[in-house]
Amino acid sequence: MPTLIISGPAQAFAKNPRASKPITDRKTLTRFHGLVSEEACADIFDESRLTKLKLSGGRLRFVFDDKTSSLRIVTAYHVPRQLTELETQLVVDATKEQWSDGCGSGSFDNFHGTVLSTALAMALLNSGHSKDDIGDYFVDAFPSAEDEETRVEFVKVDAEKTDSDYLQEAAAWGEPQAQYQFARQLEEGDGVKKNKPLAFENYQRAAAQGHSLALTFLGLCFERGTGTTKDLKRGVECFEKAAKQGLPLAMHCLGECYFEGRGVAANPVEGIKWYRRGSELGDVGCTAQLGDCYEYGNGVPVDLQQALELYERCIENGFDAVEPALKRVNKQLKKK
């Protein structure tokens, strides 16, 4: 189906939606690439002249323009035919209104999560919410009086990019969260063709920028030989770096390595230390492993009551896999 693509200037702000100076840093702006609204403009239009055009789609999408290193907003409609000049201008005008009102005053999502519009952030602040409730970044689209800032393109086929397209573009530009998520897709074959070597490369690129989850999955690649040569020692090195950055998943992996002697000399005491740290941060995997250690006396003296409390904590947090262990420990305690 033909596509009518309308785009215009946009801005992003940090920390304070009242900020007078928008973000211009390229590295930060790339994190907004692909932000999209849940609502679509075509679903909101109720003027008869617009509804007669039988438009569909039209979600608001923030994109990073690599050529100008600036943020723009793009709205793509599916149209049954090429519109006349007057019809096109009608859609452009209506779209600009939505950029600063209607669905343009809500929130937008991409691989980073949710970002609020400045309008919504200001509304929340004015209703008594704290800054912690509205996040660190805000985006704003606005109508432009200058024709050259508004771009209109008609394409005879469906030319609307997917979320995956924007993710891959952001990954190619070096955005670490995009690199990590693209690597996960490549490793699992989730929406893209499975490519483990390319997944490894993207984990490596994101990890080099300090992305702790990517660093942990890089360690798993080395441990399993996924997309690279198996190297248990390098796997442990990755887990240790990410664990020291405070990531519970890495603490879990590192604890297992010390218990099983994978890539490092077996040391149950060191393993317990990492399980305990992860458990204190709320990781149910570490909590379950710690419970197992107390149940069987691995690295610590047997303490069934402590094991019971740890298993119960897992259940409270929705980790039902420990139910058999919980029943087992309860049965042993009743015998005493």
Tens-place pLDDT, residues 243-282: 999 999 999 999 999 999 999 999 999 999 999 999 999 9
Residue ranges of the domains in the chain?
Answer: 3-158, 215-335
Is residue 73 within 8 Å of 10, Cβ to Cβ? yes
What confidence score (pLDDT) does residue 43 get? 95
Q: What is the pLDDT of residues 302-325, one digit of tens each?
A: 999 999 999 999 999 999 999 999
What confidence score (pLDDT) does residue 147 get? 63
Walk along the chain (336 residues) in steps of 10 and give the mean pLDDT of each run. Answer: 95 85 94 96 94 96 95 96 96 93 89 94 88 88 74 95 96 97 97 96 98 98 98 98 97 97 96 96 96 94 95 95 94 83
**Tokens, residue 329:** 């420990």
> Please, which residues have CB within 8 angstroms of residue 95's CB and are 6 or more apart in sequence?
6, 41, 58, 75
DSSP state of 161: P
Number of Cβ within a 10 Å radius of residue 253: 27
What confidence score (pLDDT) does residue 204 get? 98
What confidence score (pLDDT) does residue 282 get? 93
CA 41 – CA 57 distance, rounded (Å) = 7
What confidence score (pLDDT) does residue 144 get? 67
Is residue 14 within 8 Å of 23, Cβ to Cβ? yes
- Tell me which CATH homologous superfamily contains domain 215-335: Tetratricopeptide repeat domain (1.25.40.10)
What confidence score (pLDDT) does residue 20 get? 77
* Burial of 237 (C-beta count, 10 Å sphere; 0-12/13-18/19+): middle
**Tokens, residue 169:** 């573009």
Residue 130 main-chain phi, psi, to 5 deg: -85, 165
